[in-house]
Each structure stands twice: as C-alpha cells, then as structure tokens.
DNA sequence: CGTAATACATCGTATCACGAGGTATATGTT
DNA sequence: AACATATACCTCGTGATACGATGTATTACG
C-alpha cells in the first residue's frame, strides 16, 4: 500500500490499538499487522510523538524477567480519535470527487 | 483538515481534475477548492512530480495574451486512479479498525 | 549452540506540503 | 494616472515524517 495514503492514519491506528487496553510496542505491531504494516522504527517514532502530544502516558513493568513499556491512552488521545472521525467525512468527499464519473465505464 | 490525511490523496485529486478535460494550474486549484484546499506551491510541485512520473503531459497555449500551461492525463495517469480505487479498500479496513467499538458509546 | 522470537531504541535519508517570495499581464476602481 | 485585484506562472527553504539499517539484551526452541 502507498506510504502516503497511510500517513495521517498511522497515529490514530496506534491510538486505537491501545484504546481499550494498555499495550506495548511489540504487541501493537502484531495487532495492527492485519490492517497496516508498520516497522518498529516507525512505531517508536509515533509513540514518542504521541507521548509528547500528551495523547498517551507510559509505564514500565517487568514481564518474564524482561522490561516492557506499556502505553496508556489519555483523554486527549480519545479526543484525537473523535476528531479523526469528523475529518473522515472530508476524506470521503475527496474520494467521491476522485471516482466521480468513473463508475459508468468501469 | 490534517495535512497528513490529505497526503496520498493529493496526487490523485490533481489527476482527477484533468481526467475528463485538459486543465491548467490556476483552474485546477479553483476546481479542487470545494474538496481540498491546496496552495500554488503545492500544486506546481505535484504537477512536476506527475509529469516526471509520466502520468501527464504538458502543452503551452496562449489565452488572452497570456500563456497558459495545459496538463493532459496519460494512460499511466488513468491507471494511477484505478490503483487508488483498489487501495481504497485497504483504507476503509483501516478506518473500520480505528472506529471499531466506538459506535456503541457514541 | 545457534537461530528465531521477544522487546526496546537511535540515526540518517528521502519524500513531500507549504509558506514566502518572485515575475508578468489584464481588469477594475478611485 | 495610480492602485488594487485577479489571473497565471514558478522556485527555494523548512519542517514533518515513514522507514531501513543498526544496535542491545533476554528467552525459547531445535
């Protein structure tokens, strides 16, 4: 899938991945895999960005002798998802414009 | 609207704007305005990129004493739009993931 | 004993949208 | 005549950002 098309959805995808339950890097990647493929370097960049924007908080906990960094969504994070849903209406209208007059001879 | 969310749609929007009829920079911006706002610097960057990718060809013609540069979509350009339509299915599945479990308490 | 899986992180690069700035003509407006 | 606005083109620098490459360390499997 085109990289550019994913942009703008990735941040919200990560937020959605921790929406119902705190999660950690490795698990987020696996959970998102069926929908979007993203590399570790991309994920950690995004997580840092979201933390800086106060959309999530972090907590480190031990699991099987290894340290795991858990990410917890904030109210601002939830609001970001809501905002995305509002913006989606515009996205759809752009899509409609692009495919306008295409269906007939498809 | 979020800049990132527009990315990946802009190229295809410009192609869609010249899909049925050759057009020129100034007109493309005005035609797209109801759907996406994009600056001249952005448009000309995109047009250059699309020309380099052989998705459109150019032709300069005089109109009212002023020169206009007309853009004409190629077969590759049409195929790009078709590809976008296929990719859209993935976009929708990502969207579904993000809003999953949100409708109930909305 | 090596390889994969788990789990974290950083750095450099390439792509790209956009604001700021520049050029030039035609059409109002005062 | 002077000035503003609309039309029409273009370039350069900057900031945002996705990702490959790379590095560290532990656990599990064969």
What sign for the dihedral angle of Cα A1, B9, A95, A30? positive
Q: With contact defined as beta carbons under 8 Å apart, do A54 and A74 qualify?
A: yes
A46 CB within 8 Å of a chain B CB: no
Angle between helices A40-52 and A10-17 (to 10 degrees): 80
Nearest beta carbon to residue B4 from set A8, A13, A102: A8
Nucleic acid strand C: bases within 7 A of protein CB? 6-12, 15-22, 25-27
Radius of gyration of chain A (CA): 17
The pLDDT of residue B102 is 67
Cβ–Cβ below 8 Å for B13 and A99: no
* Every domain of chain B and the residues it spans: 3-99
The pLDDT of residue A99 is 94
Average the pLDDT over B90-94 and give the result: 96
pTM of the model: 0.90
| B46 pLDDT higher than 70 | yes
Task: Give chain A's residues under pLDDT 70.
Answer: 102-106
DSSP string for residues in B61-97:
EEETTEEEEEEEE-HHHHHHHHHHHHHHHHHHHHHHH
The pLDDT of residue A106 is 46
CA distance B80 to B83: 5
The pLDDT of residue A66 is 84
| B93 pLDDT higher than 80 | yes
A6 CB within 8 Å of a chain B CB: yes
- A3-99 sits in which CATH class? mainly alpha
Average the pLDDT over B3-20 and give the result: 96
Q: With contact defined as beta carbons under 8 Å apart, do B67 and B61 qualify?
A: yes
């Amino acid at each position: 899938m085109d990289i550019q098309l994913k942009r703008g959805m990735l941040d919200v995808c990560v937020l959605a991945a921790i929406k119902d339950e705190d999660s950690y890097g490795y698990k987020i990647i696996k959970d998102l895999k069926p929908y979007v493929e993203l590399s570790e370097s991309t994920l950690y960049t995004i997580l840092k960005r979201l933390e800086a924007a106060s959309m999530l908080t972090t907590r480190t906990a031990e699991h099987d002798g290894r340290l795991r960094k858990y990410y917890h969504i904030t109210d601002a994070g939830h609001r970001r998802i809501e905002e995305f849903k509002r913006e989606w209406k515009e996205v759809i209208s752009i899509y409609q414009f692009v495919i306008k007059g295409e269906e007939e001879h498809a």
